[in-house]
Amino acid sequence: MKEVELFSDGACSGNPGPGGWGSILRFKGIEKELSGGEQETTNNRMELLAVINALESLKEPCKVKITTDSKYVSDAFLKNWIDSWQKNGWKTAAKKPVKNQELWERLLKQSQNHELTWIWIKGHAGHPENERCDKLAVEARLKYAK
């Protein structure tokens, strides 16, 4: 199974507002950059889409080491929130509907296709790939700003 590194970030101006996401996939030193955005969205949606779109672009099952500065995304897996949400019928511990359920379901599908390892890093702290993903996300966001 191929081992791939995935770096991701999301950006939003206003929350909600125009947003963008950026990802870098790395395999054997070769990098592929991806980005996109939406006109009216939230930062959390962009963080999720950065990971989802990168995983969906892989052509075969891979071992993927995901590095993100999003606690929202990483903690869902590292702290098993996503398992609890599913067991509770997509409700939070406070019995409220989980936001972005359709995106979480897309990410869960990818977690079945690939072996995922999650790494959380502090954002805007000089991590080169995280800084590059932030730049990609901001550039994508600007395309959707009015």
105 is catalytic: no
47 is catalytic: yes
Beta strands in 73-142 (DSSP E): 115-120
114 is catalytic: no
Choosing from 19, 22, 69, 114, the catalytic residue is 69
Choosing from 37, 38, 47, 129, the catalytic residue is 47
Choosing from 19, 37, 38, 134, the catalytic residue is 134
Terminal CA-to-CA distance of the chain, rounded, Å? 44
83 is catalytic: no
Choosing from 10, 20, 22, 37, the catalytic residue is 10
10 is catalytic: yes
Nearest to 100 by CA among 19, 22, 6, 2: 19
Other CB atoms within 10 Å distance of the CB of residue 31: 12
Choosing from 9, 19, 22, 36, the catalytic residue is 9
Which positions are annotated as active-site residues? 9-10, 47, 69, 124, 134
